[in-house]
């Protein structure tokens, strides 16, 4: 129970650091989401995608807007988001 609360807190407070690459940030989000799942938390892809889009840095703001406008977030997969983010 304490582990799950700690993971929820880590997920909620996770921020993208300007010095980190997009891949490092995505990996950190995925690792925490997977740990939440292993501890019994329901974590849907759309929740992870929304988290990634919501806390991206200003450096990627235009890309985030383009993703939100071009893609149906409800149907997007995490791998697709990373690929789209890397190509822009």
**Tens digit of each residue's pLDDT (9 = 90 or more) over 20-74:** 777 888 889 999 999 999 999 999 988 888 888 776 667 777 777 777 776 666 6
Task: pLDDT band for 79, please (50, 70, 90 cuts).
Answer: low
82-87: average pLDDT: 63
CA dist 72 and 62 (Å) reads: 17
Give domain limits for the chain: 2-87
50 in Cβ contact with 12 (< 8 Å): no
81 has pLDDT over 80:
no
pTM of the prediction? 0.73
Question: What Rg do the C-alpha atoms of the chain give, in angstroms?
Answer: 13
10 has pLDDT over 80:
yes
């Amino acid at each position: 129970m304490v582990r799950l609360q700690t993971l929820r807190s880590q997920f909620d407070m996770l921020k993208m650091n300007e010095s980190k690459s997009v891949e490092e940030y995505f990996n950190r989000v995925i690792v925490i989401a997977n740990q939440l799942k292993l501890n019994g938390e329901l974590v849907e892809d759309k929740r992870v995608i929304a988290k990634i889009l919501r806390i991206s840095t200003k450096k990627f703001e235009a890309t985030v807007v383009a993703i939100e406008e071009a893609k149906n977030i409800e149907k997007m997969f995490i791998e697709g988001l990373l690929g789209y983010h890397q190509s822009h």
